[in-house]
């Protein structure tokens, strides 16, 4: 007999290997019955083949990267393709090193005409050297039954097995049988499924890997089409964030069109981004852009959370999309064609610039061109029209063009008519000058303009960000035109220098049939000349990676977005391909419309909806306390039903008991995370977090200590904050009431 203290580890022969290899199964004594070779021998043999193949692929990738990095530097498309290949190989190597054989999530036994077949599901696809399939990528259509099969609809499965990995060993597994054939010596049945068993595990500072336990209702949403806006509505603990993240990884793999533009993932706050940081890399996806809404605007990237408007009326006004029209009016205010003639002196004669010439030049930019980008177009149209109208035999066009461009009078008039605009300055002027705001937003009442007035016009709040974003979209980068002009000047200088060198080479070549002459004037001469351009000498344009456009946008906690903030997002996804994740009952400022009404108001169409109604995270005991807290303010709140109980009742105590409660819990639990909400007094243990209801959204903790929840306020905002805070708990909730 094996000693009870020793893990049950089977040694299984790999039929394709010449010798015995150690098993990947390291099952503890509590589940020793699952170590029967009849149950795990086939898995062990297959996983050994995966391990061997991974070693081969890792070696091949390492060799390929050495060869790519050592290759001579190339230019243009060749350089781009080389860099992309290095990125792809490095990403795959990093993923293989991150997981190893535990890339395998489990297996399913599929019924077929020729008999049953075991199909192993992985984070990536993998085949051996002969092309035999070892792992099916979880995002592939062939893997869908592994996640979607239910007893009501087995989708052709006989059985399904999910693994639990720890230190790259299988420490447990769970079998589900859909057909009596799967019971014959090939299944170890449990009272709990793999998913339910995972819910009781202790939390960590990072979101746990849950790919192997994705449920059928969640998988259906993950794999849904991205052609139209999709709303994923669900209460606390229903797995909305899990669905959102896995959908991002799935869409990047399954819908190739999303590769052109990529995916933007919006989270509610920085602690949330830190919490989910490992999820997408663990799914083999490192190309999704992840940020908060504030990160979309340069002024919002300072690091600390921006304050909200203190005045409720100012917050309402700036959240309304109509104020974006005032920003557009402010930009147009700086585009006014002169109404008087202008006389420009040249060495030949005075050139008269008629108002009609200005008007025609102002119409030259294509619709939608930003103000600062259009400025160059207007200038070129103005100069071109003046040269065409005034050049003749006595006034050479090139010299006239140069004279007009160098004219101080014409330059001053142009700067006054179409100045370079700073987007932040456009918005700041609205708050600094009531008369200017009256011109740009004539619909505002006097008291509304007064509440928007600000002594420090650039003391930005979170409600300013959509206005700043609109201003930047309308004006363009103020440095963009300057950089383009510098780039054009450097390019011209490079071309002139290159041509001069070529002329000198050819002048020194007496033999017109020589290799030099053929090299620069033969069939391949255009490519050779292009290669001589020094691209490193050209100034680089500062493109904003978060400006878009993106092929798809996913936004979590979307119930909090104002109409103005929705405009920020829709500007980045012209296709309206979005996944919108949220819970109307968790909207701090109320959400009395339906999702369809709200989204149609901001301009979305053909909206699809999916609901998640089962609370997997929050125990019954906690929900029994949280449900009355939200229904007091929102009687029709969609409160999800908990799927499990923790056996730990909600406790009530006083704020003075806080440190003792935390110390006792930490002493009784070797792992897990506690969170204090409503009291930021420090506590000397790294496993204790401090959050507000706002910064706790999207997160989960084993223990939540909620301090003085009545201080969160009355009405919808206070009720939502209490509801959100309570439902962060996965095991235990303690409420500290000041009145006790």
Residue 660 in marked binding region: no
Q: Which of 556, 619, 579 is nearest to 237 (CA)?
A: 619
Residue 480 in marked binding region: no
Region class of 103: left (phi > 0), else alpha (psi between -120 and 50), else beta: alpha
Residue 106 in marked binding region: no
Residue 234 in marked binding region: yes
Residue 267 in marked binding region: no
Cα-flanking dihedrals φ and ψ of residue 435, to 5°? -65, -40
Strand positions, DSSP E, 81-201:
104-110, 117-122, 126-127, 133-137, 157-166, 169-177
Q: Are 562 and 607 a contacting pair, CB within 8 Å?
A: no
Which stretches within 202-305 are classed as H helix? 216-222, 240-254, 270-275, 279-282
Residue 237 in marked binding region: yes
Residue 647 in marked binding region: no
DSSP labels, 330-398? HHHHT-----S-EEEE-SS-EEEE-HHHHHHHHT-SPTT--HHHHHHHHHHHHHHHHHHHH--SSS-HH
Give the distance from CA 543 to its chain's centroid. 18
Residue 100 in marked binding region: no
Whole-number Å distance between alpha carbons of 182 and 161: 11
Q: Are 538 and 564 a contacting pair, CB within 8 Å?
A: no
Torsion of CA 421, 550, 235, 316, to 10 degrees: 20
Own/partner contacts of 711-717, CB < 8 Å, gap of 24 or more, are 711/678, 711/738, 712/678, 715/633, 716/587, 716/588, 716/589, 716/590, 716/633, 716/634, 717/588, 717/589
Cα-flanking dihedrals φ and ψ of residue 462, to 5°? -65, -30
Q: Are 630 and 624 a contacting pair, CB within 8 Å?
A: no
**Neighbour-count burial for 601-617, b at 16+ CB within 10 Å, e otherwise:** ebebeebeebebebbbb
Strand positions, DSSP E, 658-700:
674-677, 688-691
Whole-number Å distance between alpha carbons of 47 and 21: 11
- How many CB atoms sit inside 10 A of residue 660's CB? 10
Q: Which of 642, 610, 669, 725 is nearest to 196 (CA)?
A: 642
Which stretches within 71-122 are classed as H helix? 76-99
In the annotated binding site for ATP, the residues are: 234-241
In the annotated binding site, the residues are: 234-241
């Amino acid at each position: 007999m094996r000693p009870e203290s020793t893990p049950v580890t089977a040694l299984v022969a790999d039929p394709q290997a010449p010798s015995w290899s150690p098993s990947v199964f390291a099952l503890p004594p509590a589940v020793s019955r699952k170590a029967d070779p009849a149950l795990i021998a086939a898995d062990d043999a297959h996983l050994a083949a995966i391990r061997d193949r991974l070693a081969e692929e890792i070696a091949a990738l390492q060799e390929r990267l050495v060869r790519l990095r050592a290759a001579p530097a190339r230019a243009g498309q060749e350089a781009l393709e080389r860099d992309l290949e290095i990125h792809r190989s490095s990403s795959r190597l990093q993923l293989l090193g991150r997981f190893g054989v535990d890339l395998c999530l489990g297996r399913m036994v599929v019924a077929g005409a020729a008999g049953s077949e075991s199909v192993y599901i992985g984070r990536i696809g993998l085949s051996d050297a002969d092309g035999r399939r070892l792992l099916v990528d979880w995002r592939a259509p062939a893997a869908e039954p592994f996640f979607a099969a239910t007893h009501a609809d087995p989708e052709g499965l006989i059985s399904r097995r999910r693994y639990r990995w720890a230190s790259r060993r299988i420490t447990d597994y769970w079998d589900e049988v859909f057909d009596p054939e799967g019971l014959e010596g090939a299944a170890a049945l449990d009272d709990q499924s793999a998913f339910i068993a995972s819910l009781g595990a202790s939390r960590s500072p990072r979101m746990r890997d849950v790919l192997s336990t994705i449920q059928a209702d969640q998988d259906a949403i993950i794999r849904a089409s991205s052609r139209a806006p999709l709303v994923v509505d669900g209460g606390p603990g229903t797995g909305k964030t899990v669905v959102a993240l896995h959908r991002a990884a799935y869409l990047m793999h399954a819908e190739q069109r999303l590769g052109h533009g990529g995916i933007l993932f919006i989270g509610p706050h920085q602690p949330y981004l830190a919490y989910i940081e490992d999820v997408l890399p663990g799914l083999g996806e490192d190309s999704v852009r992840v940020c908060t809404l504030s990160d979309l605007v340069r002024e919002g990237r300072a690091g600390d959370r921006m304050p909200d408007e203190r005045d409720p009326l100012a917050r309402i006004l700036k959240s309304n999309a109509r104020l974006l029209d005032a920003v557009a009016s402010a930009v147009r205010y700086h585009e006014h064609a002169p109404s008087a003639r202008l006389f420009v002196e040249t060495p030949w004669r005075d050139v008269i610039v008629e108002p009609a010439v200005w008007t025609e030049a102002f119409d030259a930019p294509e619709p939608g061109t930003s103000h600062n980008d259009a400025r160059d177009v207007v200038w070129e149209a103005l100069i071109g029209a003046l040269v065409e109208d005034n050049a003749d035999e006595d006034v050479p066009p090139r010299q006239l063009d140069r004279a007009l461009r160098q004219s101080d009078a014409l330059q001053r008039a142009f700067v006054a008519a179409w100045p370079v605009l700073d987007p932040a300055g456009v918005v700041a002027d609205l708050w600094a000058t009531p008369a200017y705001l009256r011109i740009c937003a004539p619909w505002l009442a006097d008291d509304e303009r007064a509440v928007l007035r600000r002594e420090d016009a650039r003391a930005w709040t979170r409600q300013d960000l959509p206005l700043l974003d609109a201003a930047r979209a309308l004006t363009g980068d103020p440095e963009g035109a300057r950089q383009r002009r510098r780039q054009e000047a450097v390019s011209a200088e490079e071309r002139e220098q290159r041509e001069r060198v070529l002329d000198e080479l050819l002048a020194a070549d007496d033999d017109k049939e020589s290799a030099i002459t053929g090299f620069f004037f033969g069939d391949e001469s255009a490519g050779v000349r292009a290669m001589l351009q020094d691209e490193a000498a050209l100034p680089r344009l500062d493109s904003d990676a978060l400006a878009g456009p993106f092929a798809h946008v996913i936004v979590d906690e979307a119930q909090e977005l104002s109409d103005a903030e929705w405009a920020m997002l829709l500007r980045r996804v012209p296709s309206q391909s979005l996944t919108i994740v949220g819970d109307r009952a968790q909207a701090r400022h109320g959400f009395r419309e339906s999702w369809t009404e709200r989204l149609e108001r901001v301009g979305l169409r053909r909206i699809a909806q999916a609901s998640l109604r089962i609370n997997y995270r929050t125990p019954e005991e906690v929900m029994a306390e949280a449900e009355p807290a939200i229904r007091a303010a929102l009687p029709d709140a969609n409160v999800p039903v908990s799927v499990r109980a923790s056996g730990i009742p909600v406790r009530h105590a006083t704020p003075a008991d806080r440190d003792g409660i935390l110390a006792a819990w930490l002493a009784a639990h070797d792992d897990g995370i506690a969170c204090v909400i409503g009291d930021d007094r420090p506590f000397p243990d790294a496993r204790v977090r401090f959050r507000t209801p706002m910064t706790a959204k999207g997160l989960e903790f084993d223990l939540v200590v909620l301090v003085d929840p009545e201080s969160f306020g009355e009405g919808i905002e206070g009720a939502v904050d209490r509801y959100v805070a309570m439902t962060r708990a996965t095991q235990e909730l303690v409420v500290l009431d000041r009145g006790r």
